């Protein structure tokens, strides 16, 4: 069954592929970062562009808002994590990193902590740009992904050979989760029970916490690498990409071992972005054909609504209030989309 189509509330052409985006904590502003290093601040209600500036020479990768909406941080190819005033459109701080490419930047769920990775080194600090409190290096390879726990106390760092979990207050390792291959994505369940990672071998690796050797699980059957992982706020459901279909695993009870995932079909091309509501049950997904779909994946395998955009979806996120998502596309367009009510 095809989902009913609904147009976006607005579409803004920024003329540069969108690498990352996010909404301010009060929902009034959207910040977006382009692959060539440009950044924009947009009024969420109207789609009006407020500021445009060059955030990073050479290109941009990641963007994170802090909890007070006083600034947002960006990471790019110039070896800096930079902090920006969204009202003035000016830089307020710039923190250097050990190597030129800062490919990873992740904010804690509360928005008060920040972690960045360049090469084999990870820096941990406050999202206000007050400086790094901990720098941890010596990882086995270039860091491929970062993930925070729900309480912001733990930070997962993925690279070749597994995941290291750090205490963000002390910078000390609290768990080592080994695996024999490269990892490409990472997420920690909101209830703290599971650490999951997409692997180079088109599978998902999952470790229970606390971890004991031999308890790790592998979930296979994907057509491509799993680069998008999204947890339901309860920690029960894990949504994954890895092809044209979505797989949603039930991680309640003893976990997904031996279970069959719910398979969600409806995208005309490979899924590229996933995001669960922060407090509700809706899952939003975007694909390389520009289609954004909404699902109530805990109850049904049928999409509830669809919006067709012109370019491949490269970034997707819910705005505060859980009623709208903002999507960024390869063709440089930014769109605001209203979600169905369930």
Q: How far apart are CA 283 and CA 295, in angstroms?
A: 5
Bond prior to 210 in cis (omega within 30° of 0): yes
- Name the DSSP letter for residue 5: B
- Name the DSSP letter for residue 36: T
8 Å CB contact between 275 and 282? no
Residue recorded with tokens 């003893």: 254
The two structure tokens encoding residue 286 = 């975007």
**pLDDT score, position 1:** 56
The two structure tokens encoding residue 248 = 């949603």
Q: What is the dihedral of CA 47, 13, 290, 237, to 10 degrees?
A: -40
**pLDDT by 10-residue block (mean), the chain, 342 residues:** 90 98 97 98 98 97 93 96 97 91 96 96 92 93 97 97 96 95 97 97 96 90 96 97 97 89 97 97 98 95 97 97 98 98 88
pTM: 0.96
Q: How far apart are CA 162 and CA 139, in angstroms?
A: 10
Q: How far apart are CA 309 and CA 300, in angstroms?
A: 24
8 Å CB contact between 197 and 183? yes
Counting every residue written for the chain, the total comes to: 342
8 Å CB contact between 339 and 325? yes
């Amino acid at each position: 069954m095809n989902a009913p189509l609904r147009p976006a509330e607005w579409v803004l052409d920024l003329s540069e592929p969108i690498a990352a985006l996010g909404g301010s904590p009060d929902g009034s502003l959207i910040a977006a970062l382009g692959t060539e290093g440009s950044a924009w601040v947009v009024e969420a209600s109207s789609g009006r562009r407020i500021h445009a500036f060059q955030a990073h020479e050479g290109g941009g990768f990641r963007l994170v808002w802090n909890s007070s909406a006083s600034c947002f941080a960006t990471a790019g190819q110039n070896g800096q994590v930079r902090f920006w005033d969204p009202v003035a459109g000016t830089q307020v701080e710039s923190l250097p990193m050990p190597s030129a490419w800062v490919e990873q930047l992740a904010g804690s769920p509360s928005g008060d902590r920040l972690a960045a990775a360049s090469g084999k080194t990870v820096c941990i600090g406050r999202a206000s740009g007050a400086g790094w409190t901990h720098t941890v290096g010596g990882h086995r390879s270039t860091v491929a992904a970062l993930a925070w726990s729900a309480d912001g106390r733990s930070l997962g760092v993925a690279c070749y050979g597994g995941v290291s979990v750090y205490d963000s207050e002390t910078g000390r390792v609290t768990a080592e989760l080994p695996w024999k291959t490269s990892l490409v994505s990472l997420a920690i369940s909101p209830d703290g029970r599971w650490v999951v990672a997409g692997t180079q071998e088109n599978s998902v690796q999952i470790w229970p916490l606390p971890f004991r050797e031999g308890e790790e699980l592998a979930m296979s059957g994907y057509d491509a690498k799993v680069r998008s992982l999204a947890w339901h706020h309860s920690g029960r459901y894990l949504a994954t990409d890895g092809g044209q279909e979505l797989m949603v695993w039930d991680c309640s009870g003893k976990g997904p071992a031996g279970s069959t995932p719910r398979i969600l079909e409806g995208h005309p091309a490979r899924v590229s972005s996933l995001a669960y509501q922060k407090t509700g049950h809706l899952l939003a997904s975007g694909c390389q054909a520009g289609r954004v779909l909404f699902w109530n994946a805990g109850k049904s395998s049928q999409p509830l609504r669809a919006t067709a955009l012109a370019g491949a979806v490269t970034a997707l996120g819910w705005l505060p209030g859980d009623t709208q998502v903002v999507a960024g596309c390869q063709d440089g367009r930014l769109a605001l989309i209203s979600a169905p009510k369930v």
